[in-house]
Structure 1
């Protein structure tokens, strides 16, 4: 697999504030447990689930149910390669819109 530079691209799907916060949080880690993401963003379970479904359908996020020794399986959330590239391209496009070297 060859490395390709990130191209600035405004992504309306990511730009929605809740989805931007989700992708920003996921960009800082390999993956996050659903409840930890919910708590970090201070949003409801239903809102997080709904926005994750949009990101999953776009191919930007992957959900992984992992069994636990006790209790119910837990859901882990991560950005896909396409999702990480889309997020970074969106951030790069926002920086270009600002047009200031201070934010580059």
Structure 2
């Protein structure tokens, strides 16, 4: 099982969900990601901050219809890190005999 490089920043369940959501789109509104992950604003903000501090995610704020909106997107570094993390998860899953049947 050599070459298994799980990223501890990405691996936490909520951050893994955030990364999976953002890997499918160019950007997503904070409220959409909150709804998909099922966590509160404060919990999502904490995880977003950790991903942002790691350089994996960018936050864009703008006013739309007189309301402050926040959009999230993966950076190029984040996109590569997420892809490598999912490859590592696939290698890990492939090593489990019951999953190979």
- Superposition TM-score, scaled by structure 1 size: 0.83
Matching residue of 1:79: 74
Paired residues, what number? 95
Give unpaired runs (5+ residues) of structure 2. none
Contact 1:23–1:87 (Cα < 8 Å) also in 2: yes
- Runs of 4+ aligned residues of structure 1 deviating over 2 Å after TM superposition are none
Q: How does 1:26-41 map to 2 (within 5 A)?
A: 26-41=22-37
What value does the CA root-mean-square deviation take over the aligned residues?
1.8
Query: How much does 1:98 deviate?
Result: 1.7
Q: Is the 8 A contact 2:6 2:85 kept in 1?
A: yes
Q: For the residues of structure 2 that align with 1:62 and 1:15, how far apart are their CA atoms? A: 18
Distance 2:84 2:4 in 1: 4
Q: Are the equivalent residues in 2 in contact too, given 1:8–1:91 (CA < 8 A)?
A: no
More strand by share: 2
**Contact 1:33-1:74 within 8 A present in 2 as well:** yes
